[in-house]
Structures are given as C-alpha cells and as structure tokens.
Amino acid sequence: MVLATVLILLGLLAIAVPVAATLGILGLSLSTFFSPLPLSFAMGEIMWSTSNNFLLVAMPFFVMLGEILLRTGMAERMYAALVLWMPWLPGGLMHSNIAACALFAATSGSSVATAATIGTVAMEEIDKRGYSERLFLGTIVAGGTLGILIPPSINMIVYGVITDTSIPQLYLAGVIPGIVLAVLFGVTVLVACLANPGLDGERTTSTWAQRRQALPDLLPPVVIFLAVVGSIYAGWATATEAAALGVVAALVLAGLRRQLTWRVFRETFEGTVRTTAMIMAIILAAYFLNFVITGIGLTGRVNSLITSLGLSPYGLLAVVVLFYLVLGMFMETLSMMVATVPIVTPVVIAAGFDPVWFGVVIMLLMELAMITPPVGINLYVVQGLRSRGRIDDVIIGAAPFVIAIALTVLILAVWPQLALWLPGTMR
C-alpha cells in the first residue's frame, strides 16, 4: 500500500500533472483500490468544511500584503536604504540581500515572493560592483527562504490548520530561529569573503546624512511586522484579524506616499486571487487525500512501521530530517507538507516533541527543499530573473547556505527553547 502510494504520487508528478490534481487523483485511486467502501462520497463535504475554516481566511490577506509591498515599490526603496547601511561588511551588498529578504519576509509570508522581489531589485548590482555572481545569487536564493520561517508565514498557517496547532504560537516560535538563520546566512557570506577576497565586490560608500535620510524607507516593513506580530503577542487579535490589520497598515503607508493607483489595486487583486486559488486548490485536494489515507489505514501502518524500528526520539528526528531532505529534492514544498505532515507529525509528537517546535523544524526542512536541486523552486525563480548563464551557477552559489539551514535545525534540536520561549511567554 505504501509503495503503491509513492509510485502513483511520483508518477503523476513526473508527467507534470498539476499538484492539486495529483493529490486528488491519488486520493481517488487509493479509495478505489484499497477501500471496501467508496470514500469518494465524502469529497464534497470535506472540501466544503475545509474551505470554511476561519483560520484559512488569513492566507489571502498575507498574500495581498506582499502584493501591496511589491506593487507600490516599498520593497525596492527598502533595498536601496539597506545598501546605504551595510556596505562596510566583507561581502557588502550580499549582506543587504539577506537583510532585505529578512525584512520582506516579515511582511510577505512567501519564500517565492521574497526571492523574486529582492532578486529583481538586486540583480543589476552583480556586474556594477564586481561581485562573485554565484555567491551573490546564492544569497538571494537562501535569503528568500526566510519568507516561510519569519512570520507571517503562509506555510505556517497550512501547518497549523493541518495539525490543529496554534498559529499565533507558531508565528512567535519562528521569530528567534528566523533571526538566527539570517545571522548564520550573513556569517556564511562573511567567512566566504574573508577566506577568498575575490568573492567580494566593490564597497559602496555612504554618509551618515544619507543613511538617516533613508531610514523612513526601512519603516514600512517594521511597522507592518509590529502591527501583525505585535497584535498577536499582545492578545489583541487572532492570526486572521492580525493579517487584515497588516493589509490596512500597508494600504495606509502606501496611501501616505500617494502610490495607491487603480493600476496598483488591479494588479494587487489579480495577483492575490491567482496565488490564493492555487494554494486553496492544493489544500482542498490534500485534505481529501488525508481523509482517504486515514480511512484505508495507511497512517496507522506508517506509524507502526516507524515505531517498530525502536528508535530513540532523536534517532526518529534524524530519520524525519533525512526523509524530508530526500523528498524535498523531488516535490514542491507546499504539496510535500500537505501530503506528509498529517502522517509524520503524530509520530513525532508521540515521541515527546512539541508540535509548535516541530512546526518550526518543518519550516526549516521546507527551506532546504527550496534550495536543493532538482526541484528547488527558489533556484528556478532566481535563475528566471537572469538574462544569462546556466542554473548550475545558482545551485553552486546556494550550496554553502544549506549548511547554515542544517546547522539551525541542529541548534533547535539542542536548544528547543529558542523556538518555545517566546510562545511560552504568551501562554
């Protein structure tokens, strides 16, 4: 049964069937071949009840939030301001790439949107300043992954809905690990440039007057982050209400700069609808698939198989990390989450791990999947922004940052309170 599930899933993905259709077909196939009763009768009810989940209303708000920042030029001005503040470090603008990704991640909730936005505004600096193209591209690929770790995160909403875990606590749990990972990305650049000065580029110069003048351009993402995460932490708003508050804050900030044109509104709404529809189609199909695999007993068999191995809790965690590392090379992250998290999470929680902590670990493993070939989506996003070269350059440039993500997983395994301390202050 397990082998048949894997073969059907990989076969459908191999022939380029859309992810939502793949999950739906897999659910119908398993119901037909392995269930004595036609489980497909429940498809309509499952999809209707899932689409009515109040927590999922936060998702289009966060998608819209990122669209507003992109369409109004706030992201571009933020990057220009960071260029003035971070030229003195070895690696120069590569640190600006990571810092800009971290700030944009604190408002967008999407890794792809983060990599695409910062990559668009940063790409021209490679030739202008003489940076190592591979390492420069790697900072954008890796920095973009912060979009699903630093709150608000669309993937955390999906994890929270699937596992019935508190989304506010997941958001708070991602803050400190997100900062740690961004710092480790910066350290990776620093070490690389100190070890090989040829990787560095021309240092830009700026006066304190120019830096102070650019500070207002750094305020929008900070204000929005405080509005969203601050309202959740203070207990003033739920995740959904905080998402709506973030959209209002973004609209106000854009309005104060007189950038809310009809064109901006149209492009924002179109982008929001497209992205939300794609995500919802995957989630609805995944919920049906999860119902089927539970109904045919697949979840129980996998749990029994893992339990029979007699692994220690950390041995089990190592197997889970290896599983996602391999699977992430062949599956898109959102579909991988919705297809596997309902099976893996109960086993991990039964071993004694906290579901909030494991949610952060899952986000880190999804980040690894985004920058590892052959299906690492951020690799293709950044390659698509270039006008030359092969994707090999992007893959090689991103390779050192795999170590930083893996090290963050190890740090969280040793010191889980890095993720659990902030949610603990809220309880």
pLDDT tens-digit map of 92-115: 788 888 998 888 888 777 777 788
> In the structure, what pLDDT confidence band is assigned to residue 419 with cuts at 50, 70 and 90?
very high
| Phi/psi-derived region of residue 310, left when phi > 0, alpha when psi is between -120 and 50, beta in every other case | left
Decide if 187 contacts 264 (C-beta within 8 A): no
| Whether residue 1 has pLDDT greater than 60 | no
Measure the CA–CA gap between 207 and 99, rounded to whole angstroms: 20
Cβ partners under 8 Å of residue 36, min gap 6:
none
Tokens 């009809």 correspond to 262
Measure the CA–CA gap between 53 and 422, rounded to whole angstroms: 26
Measure the CA–CA gap between 228 and 2, rounded to whole angstroms: 41
Q: Of residues 294 and 254, which shows the higher confidence score?
A: 254
Tell me what the mean pLDDT of segment 137-144 comes to: 91
* Of 21-25, 192-196, 314-318, the least confident: 21-25
Q: Cα 286 vs. chain centroid, distance in angstroms?
A: 18
| Whether residue 347 has pLDDT greater than 70 | yes
| Mean per-residue pLDDT of the chain | 82
Residue type, 78: M
* Of 231-245, 265-279, 283-297, the least confident: 283-297
| Whether residue 12 has pLDDT greater than 70 | no
Q: Which two tokens stand for residue 89?
A: 């470090």
Q: What percent of the residues of the chain are helix, what percent strand, and what percent coil, each to the nearest 5?
A: 80, 0, 20
Tokens 């919920």 correspond to 287
| Whether residue 138 has pLDDT greater than 60 | yes
Give the chain's end-to-end CA distance (angstroms, integer): 41
Measure the CA–CA gap between 392 and 105, rounded to whole angstroms: 26
**CA dist 123 → 116, 126, 137 (Å):** 10, 6, 8
Reduced to 3 states (helix: H, G, I; strand: E, B; else coil), residue 230 is helix
Measure the CA–CA gap between 416 and 19, rounded to whole angstroms: 33
> In the structure, what pLDDT confidence band is assigned to residue 90 with cuts at 50, 70 and 90?
confident
Tell me the residue ranges of DSSP E strands in 46-183.
Answer: none
Residue 17 DSSP code = -
| Whether residue 188 has pLDDT greater than 90 | yes
Measure the CA–CA gap between 156 and 123, rounded to whole angstroms: 29
Report pLDDT digits (tens) over 57-76.
777 887 888 788 878 878 77
pLDDT value at position 327? 77
Query: How many CA atoms within 13 Å lie on the side-chain side of 244?
Result: 9
pLDDT value at position 84? 81
| Whether residue 330 has pLDDT greater than 70 | no
pLDDT value at position 394? 87
Q: Using CB atoms within 10 Å of the CB of residue 14, give its burial: 0 to 12 exposed, 13 to 18 middle, 19+ buried.
A: exposed
pLDDT value at position 14? 63
Reduced to 3 states (helix: H, G, I; strand: E, B; else coil), residue 130 is coil
Residue type, 47: M
**pTM recorded for the entire structure:** 0.81
> In the structure, what pLDDT confidence band is assigned to residue 353 with cuts at 50, 70 and 90?
very high
pLDDT value at position 170? 92
| Whether residue 3 has pLDDT greater than 80 | no
